[in-house]
Amino acid sequence: MPKSALERVREALRKRGEATRPQLAAETGLSLVSCNQAVATLCQLGEAQEAGLTPSGGGRPGKRYRINARFACRAYFRAERNGSLIHGELELYDMTGNLLRRHNAEYAYLSAESLDEWLDTATRHCGLYGISLEISSDIVPARMVEHLESRYRCPARILNTADALADDSENTLTLYISQGKSPVCSLRLGGKQQHTGELGLLPLPADWCTLDYSDHTLVEEMIARLVTILVCTLAPMRVVLFGDFWTNRLTKRIQFNVSAKLRQGVPLLHFRTITHPLAADRLRAFACSI
């Protein structure tokens, strides 16, 4: 679905920092009338605010606008198993992506209500704009998203790293493979990222969490089979694979293997190198922008 005028102006303001209404119209491709209406709505909601005047060449100075950093805050919670416990980290950001608070905790297990006490305290003087969750499928609580949306009256969603690494290319499957973890993927369809979750349960010759990435023959077969299954199931036109272990020989072997398995209708395969710390930073930035 196409983005509304309000969404397009909101995104442009976040991207530019400050802008006049004509600048926003040029950035979004909207008419000046539509842009003015969207800016007025954002200001009425308190999400945007005036940021001063821009001098002009003898005419009337134009007003500049910016996102109101204190309009609300965003919560980002990630959790993973650490031995017999679950390590959780919850961060709170303002509307411009500045970190406000961070809270670490260890849990015996996660429930739908595990974040309530901390969020209630952290947001006592600031409403929540959205909640992003990065929780592996083996520990995610049932109905946690529904509970958070009902309690805090804002969107809550489970994200994965593939969502953050995906670009805006339509019908593109983004696959992120991190050593020691199950791969995750995300499909862009209809202008939106379709969350597909972890892929650890697909029928493959080895376990992703214990896979020896120095065994290129096994790695090649694992990835080639995974791509083949995803292509046959989701039918993307393009597949972008992110990892930190690619070599020229391995990528060529994977491409040949996939071609041999599919024989026809093989999508374009693109291999991108990204380290785990950089991928984590991208996911954090992505969680603070939606």
73-158 and 162-280 share one CATH topology?
yes
Which CATH class for the 162-280 domain?
A: alpha beta
Q: In this predicted model, what pLDDT tens digit does every residue of 112-130 receive, in sequence order? A: 999 999 999 888 878 899 9
73-158 topology per CATH: Nucleotidyltransferase; domain 5 (3.30.420)
Query: Is the pTM here over 0.85, yes or no?
Result: no
At CA 158, angle to CA 152 and CA 164, rounded to 5? 120
Domain ranges for the chain, please list them.
Answer: 5-67, 73-158, 162-280
Rounded to the nearest integer, the mean pLDDT of the chain is 89
Band (pLDDT 50/70/90 cuts) for residue 71 is: confident
5-67 topology per CATH: Arc Repressor Mutant, subunit A (1.10.10)
Question: Strands 85-94 and 73-82, how do they pair?
Answer: antiparallel
Q: In this predicted model, what pLDDT tens digit does every residue of 242-287 receive, in sequence order? A: 999 999 999 999 999 999 999 877 888 999 999 999 998 999 888 8
Q: In this predicted model, what pLDDT tens digit does every residue of 191-247 receive, in sequence order? A: 888 877 677 767 888 999 899 999 999 999 999 999 999 999 999 999 999 999 999
**Beta strand ranges found along the chain (DSSP E):** 18-20, 48-54, 62-67, 73-82, 85-94, 99-107, 128-135, 156-158, 172-176, 184-189, 192-198, 238-243, 268-273
Tokens linked to 216: 């290129």
